[in-house]
Amino acid sequence: MTFVSDPDLHELRPCLIRLAYRMLGSVADAEDVVQDAYSRWLMVDRASVQEPAAFLRVVVTRLCLNQLKSARLRRESYIGTWLPEPIFDPEDGNPADDITLPLMIALERLSPLERAAFLLHDVFGMDFPEVAQAIDRSPAACRQLASRARVHVRRERSRFIVSKEHGLKIAAAFFAASRSGDMSALRTMLADDVTASADGGGKVSATLTPLVGIEAVLKRHAEMAAMFARSPSRLLRYAVIDGLPGFITIEPGNVMQVTALHIHDDQVLTIYVMRNPDKLKRVSS
């Protein structure tokens, strides 16, 4: 998608893309929404708009709310576990906000209006009158929406964040143990209540329901170890994925996979595996 150049608004695009992605969980959908918002900006009477940034945030939010209605219907018929499309933190290691993959999943449990109010106010710093304009509710209603959302996502926001260097070191150890079949080493890395979720989107093989508990996760990795012995997993690179350490691989069958690890006290709490090729088109090999 080519974003039409505008010297006054070009610098706003990254923030608008982040907002749309946090609302929709899809980079492609986020880019389409921002392009649509920009097209509307080109048709508006510029003299009537005092703040182009505020205008575009409002338009992007409303477009996302409209799209969420159809997105929810699609996800109700989704095959297996739905995970958001992975995005990667900048090379400088400083993410644009503190939203992580667990929080993205927590946001999925909110209503569209709760999600919008929380993101606009708590993450993107908009005041409630501006939020009210964006979602067509009163400021008081927006405060209530954001408050309800905060209760649901508080446990996940900025929770158990490890440094980039330490996280990637654990990711490397996890990759080595899981691919070599060293179940003893892998056991020491996993929390007792670890869970593992995989998104294949019905396009490639993936566990349809999350694995819960260390024994279930170890059993699955022991089964995969035999497969890796015949057809090794090929590591492309380590990366920070939606705030979490992980790695990108080519798996047996030439399937690209992105694995992200939620870590606390040097133990893996959750394993997120993205295998759906539709959500990995932007991952360079």
**181 occurs within a structural domain:** yes
Among the candidates 92, 127, 153, a domain finishes at 153
CB within 8 Å of 110: residues ≥ 6 apart: 118, 149, 152, 153
Question: Is residue 237 domain-resident?
Answer: yes
pLDDT tens across 77-88, in order? 788 999 999 988
Residues 96 and 26 in one domain: yes
Same domain, 173 and 209: yes
Answer whether 146's CB lies under 8 Å from 117's CB: yes
The total number of structural domains in the chain stands at 2
Task: Please check whether residue 285 lies inside any domain of the structure.
Answer: no
Classify residue 2: in a domain, yes or no.
no
Looking at the structure, do residues 140 and 182 belong to the same domain, yes or no? no
pLDDT at position 49, please? Answer: 75
Looking at the chain, which runs of residues are DSSP E strands?
Answer: 190-199, 211-212, 234-241, 244-251, 255-264, 267-274
Asked whether residue 208 falls in the same domain as residue 189, the answer is: yes
- Tell me what pLDDT residue 3 has: 45
User: Whose structure tokens read 């309800």?
Assistant: 148
Which ranges of the chain have pLDDT less than 50? 1-5, 7, 92-94
- What residues make up the domain containing 224? 164-279
Tokens 């400088």 locate to 92
Query: What integer pLDDT is reported at residue 96 of this predicted model?
Result: 52
CA distance 87 to 96: 12
Q: Following DSSP, what letter does each residue of 195-235 receive, concatenated?
A: EEEEE-TTTS---SS-EESHHHHHHHHHHHHHHHHHS--EE
Same domain, 65 and 124: yes
For residue 128, the SS3 value is helix
Judgement on whether residues 67 and 168 belong to the same structural domain of the protein: no
- Compute the distance between CA of residue 84 and CA of residue 27 in angstroms, rounded to an integer: 9
Task: Please state, in angstroms and rounded to a whole number, the distance separating the CA atoms of residues 23 and 171.
Answer: 28
Residues 180 and 120 in one domain: no
Q: Does 75 map to a domain?
A: yes
- What is the per-residue pLDDT for 113? 94
